[in-house]
Homo-oligomer: A and B are copies of this chain.
Amino acid sequence: MPRLTDARKELRRTQIAEAAVRCFSRNGLKRTSIADITAESGLSAGSIYAHYRNKADLVQAAARETLDKRDGTISEYAAADAPPSPDELLSRLIAAIDPAEARVGVQTWGESTTDPAIRDIVADTTDRMRAMVHDCVTAWLVKVEHHDPPHAREFATPIAHQVMALYQAELLYTALRTPAEETPS
């Protein structure tokens, strides 16, 4: 197993994907051409197609990267001795929003309405994040509010739903509020 080689390959892939995310953030999923990504990444078209089958494949990678980025922190909150309240959790989630990622995230929502592969990615990442929020709210109910665990899990469900909705709305408003930079055409 050439593990080191695989690692280098993966590094290039993320390098390309990150350049793509920057382009998408400025110009959108469809208006971004391969030429834009070559300019942003410093690589060539041939090189990009050596790492991604086609543009759709690259868009999927960018979507995963953008949508997954939020996941790390929430699980830490749930494990804390004094988990944050739902209001506090929401505040922290909103504070962590990056405008560029918000734009790509909302673009991804739009794409998910017609592209099944993107749809699955959005559904998966949304479900995973909701589960984490649910865990965090449950932990707060148990550890701070002293509910008993079985009741807490049930009680947490509509609260997690609300937190997610308010977070996603804020994502949309951030994307609307902070326009992309002018295209340097």
A8 CB to closest chain B CB (Å) equals 33
A32 CB to closest chain B CB (Å) equals 9
- Complex Cα distance, B165 from A168, in Å, reads 8
Q: Does A149 contact B (CB under 8 A)?
A: no
Q: Judging by beta carbons under 8 Å apart, are B168 and A112 in contact? A: no
Q: Judging by beta carbons under 8 Å apart, are B31 and A175 in contact? A: no
Query: Can you tell how many copies of this chain the complex includes?
Result: 2
Q: What chain B residues lie within 8 Å of A114 (beta carbons)?
A: 26-28, 31, 103, 107, 180
Pick from B109, B116, B179: contact of A110, CB below 8 A: B109
Q: Does A176 contact B (CB under 8 A)?
A: yes
A130 CB to closest chain B CB (Å) equals 11
Q: What chain B residues lie within 8 Å of A122 (beta carbons)?
A: 176
A31 CB to closest chain B CB (Å) equals 6
Per-position 1/0 for A113-151, Cβ under 8 A of B: 111100100110010000000000000000000000000
Residue of B nearest to A30 (CB): B30
12 extra interface residue pairs, beta carbon distance < 8 Å, beyond A29-B30, A30-B30, A113-B176: A26-B114, A28-B113, A29-B110, A31-B114, A103-B114, A106-B109, A106-B110, A112-B175, A112-B176, A113-B175, A165-B166, A165-B170
